[in-house]
Amino acid sequence: MWRVGVDVGGTFTDLFAWEESTGRQVTSKVLTTKQDRSIAVLEAIQKAGIDIADISYLMHGTTTATNALIERSYPDAAFITTEGFRDTLEIGRQHREHLYDPYQSKPKPIIKRRYRYTVPERTNVRGETERPLDIAAAHDVARKIKAARIKSVGIGFINSYVCGEHEKQMRDILLEHCPDVHVVLSAETRPVFREHGRFMTTAVRAACMPVMVKYMDDLEARLRQHKFVGKLLILKSSGGVMSADVARLHPEDMLESGPAGGVAYAGYLTEQSGFERILHTDVGGTSFDVSIVENGKGLITRDHELEWEVPIVVPMLDIHSVGAGGGSIGWVDSGGSLRVGPQSAGSEPGPVCYGRGGTQPTITDANLLLGRLDPTLSGKMVLDFAAAEKAMSNLAKQIGLSTLATAEGMIRIGCEYMAQAVKKILVSRGRDPRDFVFASFGGAGALHACFVAKSMNIPKVIVPPHAGVASAFGATVMDLRQDLEHFYYTPVQDADLRKINGILAELEAKAKKALKEQGFENEHDIELVRTAQMRYVGQSYEVETPIPNGVLTQECMPRIEQQFHACHLKEFGVSSEDFAPAFVSFGVAAIGRMEDPPPVEISHMAGGDIIKGMRDVYFEGKWTSCQVYKGEALGTQHRIEGPAIVEYEHACTVLPPNTHAHVNAMGALVIDIEK
């Protein structure tokens, strides 16, 4: 039986799989079918030569929910809230994205104002009812939603994170009138304070649920037609997997589903190569993703923003994305400056050189013209050099540069966008780039990795085996995961340990039960990870702090406080024992350990030629003759001096001048960059 990982990206759908009895590994890459992404999933499986009936686990990373939100391409949803809070979703936190821009505008609302309804009710911060739910008004709202033929509704009342009874009442009334509607409660989505994040996350779940239900239904139906009897697991943004049934009802947990696989592969690299601090980067066709992985674990955030003022308050891997990928389009702004992205050619029509109808030059076209790409993409397709050159020439005329200078300028600008994304995530988490290894994933990642790393003073780049399908590989090393959280604010010195232990015990029991319901049977293989959201009394932001398992006693409190000080120092460069720490909420992650994959297969062609040939490559305004190496043929005995090109089945590495590389024991290409 096969264990298969699939990552559906904006341009390509990637697959990595291993056979459980023999350890044999296969990969494939196909163009994403935008009209129905499930088609590309089946095409990738077919291209890999795998019989769907022989798949035991299909781990699937998908951008379907993210794309639906970004494009606002979902059926109209409704939102019901407390009287006086109708516009909380749109008003947000009254922040400004650009402080001095008087013409900026907020993103398009997740839920249209005409479908945002209010009812009189009020619960205070202690969970006490100050005003009962107005039953007549609730029925009136339910009738309006039925008349509007809305199929998905979010309910978010003020202070319902303490007591959600009014939300449950509203749900019961709504279902009397609309029995087929999807109903989402904020008290069940994320019972935490700060209503804007809680309401927005609830609205996102309500908006995406019909989209994900249809996608999962279509995918499972297609798989069943091919006699699929295994388990379909979906990648979560927090770094685990969940069953398809759970994914249908929790689309907010899939907003970083695809990149999460890459983070898992970076964690696998830590185990195999010993690099404790890895900067995970992934360049696909539409975007550049970057995140920090320390000691094999990706950093978690609860302050992720899908867009400006669209916060998602569930635990998510702290992944920052920008529109800089292989399909990013070059264009000239109103000031006559060359720009790159964020708009992308995607898979339809794709870069000009793909010959699928694209007319605007992309990063991929620029790399082809500069000699950095194989004109056949390692045998996958014949790239149209003349068409790419014509499109780049048209762009070059607009800015008064030569075609090659424009192509190289596009690469520099794209790499600078990537470097700024790296800088943002490192600085925001208080990390020094010189302490990290730059791990390059994605089909277009290694083309640019050395340039981005050098820009950020990162001394070493690693291109692992199967880097071109890294997120699909990472999917196969992920564990089943359930994250739960409960709000409880108290200064540590005033903490009611009996209540805290009760909260943790309840969360652990629910998390274990959730894993069992998803088919994980061996309770002894479940790992429970406890955390607390903590802050200094008076602060307005929290720091995630690990707390010990077992019954918490008064003797544990000093150690937890010291742990919080250490976490605060690591994140912000400062801590103080003069201020009292406080608990804000408690979280539990239940992790069901899955079987690890076999070691990565390394095909050394003993005695064979590692050189594919020579190719002229354009660096720094001039052509340089470079050797082109067969990436899969390289062994630990080989050393490569830049400039050079290393080509793999699904990726291509560019070694610019003043770099040198070797292959480590796991088959990864490790590149040292001279200062």
Query: What pLDDT does residue 381 have?
Result: 83
The Cα–Cα gap between 492 and 580 comes to 8
Angle at 634 between CA 629 and CA 637, to 5 degrees: 125
Strands 25-31 and 277-283: unpaired
Tell me: the pLDDT tens digits for 342-356?
888 877 788 999 998
- The mean pLDDT of 191-197, rounded to a whole number, is 91
**Core vs surface per residue 341-369: b (16+ CB within 10 A) or e:** beebbbbeebbbbbeeebebbbbbbbbbb
**Is 17:50 a contact under the CB 8 Å cutoff?**
yes
Give the model's confidence band at 101: pLDDT under 50 very low, under 70 low, under 90 confident, else very high.
confident
The Cα–Cα gap between 165 and 130 comes to 13
The Cα–Cα gap between 591 and 341 comes to 38
- The mean pLDDT of 72-83, rounded to a whole number, is 94
Give the model's confidence band at 604: pLDDT under 50 very low, under 70 low, under 90 confident, else very high.
very low
Does residue 128 have a pLDDT over 80?
yes
Give the model's confidence band at 602: pLDDT under 50 very low, under 70 low, under 90 confident, else very high.
low
Residue written as token pair 């424009």: 406
Tell me: the pLDDT tens digits for 293-333?
999 889 988 888 888 888 899 889 988 888 888 889 999 99
For residue 126, count CB atoms less than 10 angstroms from its CB and return exposed for 0-12, middle for 13-18, buried for 19 or more.
exposed
The Cα–Cα gap between 256 and 161 comes to 25
Query: What pLDDT does residue 52 have?
Result: 94
292: its two tokens: 């920090």
Give the model's confidence band at 558: pLDDT under 50 very low, under 70 low, under 90 confident, else very high.
very high
- The mean pLDDT of 13-19, rounded to a whole number, is 91
Q: How far is CA 235 from CA 18, 240, 257, 471, 490, in A?
A: 18, 6, 5, 10, 34
**Core vs surface per residue 82-91: b (16+ CB within 10 A) or e:** bbebbebbbe
Which of the 8 DSSP states describes residue 492?
A: G
Dump the DSSP string for 249-317: H-GGGGTTHHHHHHHHHHHHHHHHH--SEEEEEEE-SS-EEEEEEETTEE-EES-EEEETTEEE-S-EE
Amino acid making up residue 376: T
Q: How far is CA 72 from CA 110, 149, 153, 261, in A?
A: 7, 18, 16, 25
1: its two tokens: 């039986």
Q: Which of 107, 101, 4, 99 is nearest to 61 (CA)?
A: 4
Give the model's confidence band at 65: pLDDT under 50 very low, under 70 low, under 90 confident, else very high.
confident
CA 90, 214, 479, 426 torsion-angle sign? negative
* Helix 195-225 vs helix 64-71: crossing angle, to nearest 10: 130
- The mean pLDDT of 598-625, rounded to a whole number, is 77
Can you say whether residue 397 is alpha, beta or left, with left for phi > 0 and alpha for psi between -120 and 50 degrees? Answer: alpha
For residue 113, count CB atoms less than 10 angstroms from its CB and return exposed for 0-12, middle for 13-18, buried for 19 or more.
exposed
Angle at 481 between CA 477 and CA 43, to 5 degrees: 50
Question: Alpha helices of 524-675 — where are they, by DSSP H?
Answer: 557-572
**Is 256:9 a contact under the CB 8 Å cutoff?**
no
For the chain, what is the mean pLDDT? 91
Give the model's confidence band at 608: pLDDT under 50 very low, under 70 low, under 90 confident, else very high.
low
Query: What pLDDT does residue 607 have?
Result: 44
**Is 330:345 a contact under the CB 8 Å cutoff?**
no
CA 286, 292, 296, 299 torsion-angle sign? negative
**Is 18:476 a contact under the CB 8 Å cutoff?**
yes
* % of the chain exceeding 90 in pLDDT: 64
* Proportion of the chain in helix, strand, coil states, percent, rounded to 5: 35, 30, 35
Query: What pLDDT does residue 601 have?
Result: 56
Give the model's confidence band at 603: pLDDT under 50 very low, under 70 low, under 90 confident, else very high.
low
550 phi, psi to nearest 5 deg = 85, 180
Q: Which of 617, 616, 612, 622 is nearest to 648 (CA)?
A: 612
Question: Alpha helices of 400-526 — where are they, by DSSP H?
Answer: 403-428, 445-455, 470-475, 497-517
Can you say whether residue 2 is alpha, beta or left, with left for phi > 0 and alpha for psi between -120 and 50 degrees? Answer: beta
H or E element, residue 8: strand 2-8
The Cα–Cα gap between 572 and 431 comes to 9
> Does the reported pTM lie above 0.75?
yes
Q: Which of 234, 421, 415 is nearest to 319 (CA)?
A: 421
The Cα–Cα gap between 222 and 216 comes to 10
- The mean pLDDT of 413-420, rounded to a whole number, is 94
* % of the chain exceeding 70 in pLDDT: 98
Query: What pLDDT does residue 31 have?
Result: 86
- The mean pLDDT of 247-273, rounded to a whole number, is 89
Give the model's confidence band at 638: pLDDT under 50 very low, under 70 low, under 90 confident, else very high.
confident
The Cα–Cα gap between 142 and 170 comes to 9
Domain boundaries, the chain: 72-204, 328-414, 480-592
67: how many CB neighbours lie within 10 A of its CB? 17
Question: Alpha helices of 87-194 — where are they, by DSSP H?
Answer: 88-91, 135-147, 165-177, 186-189
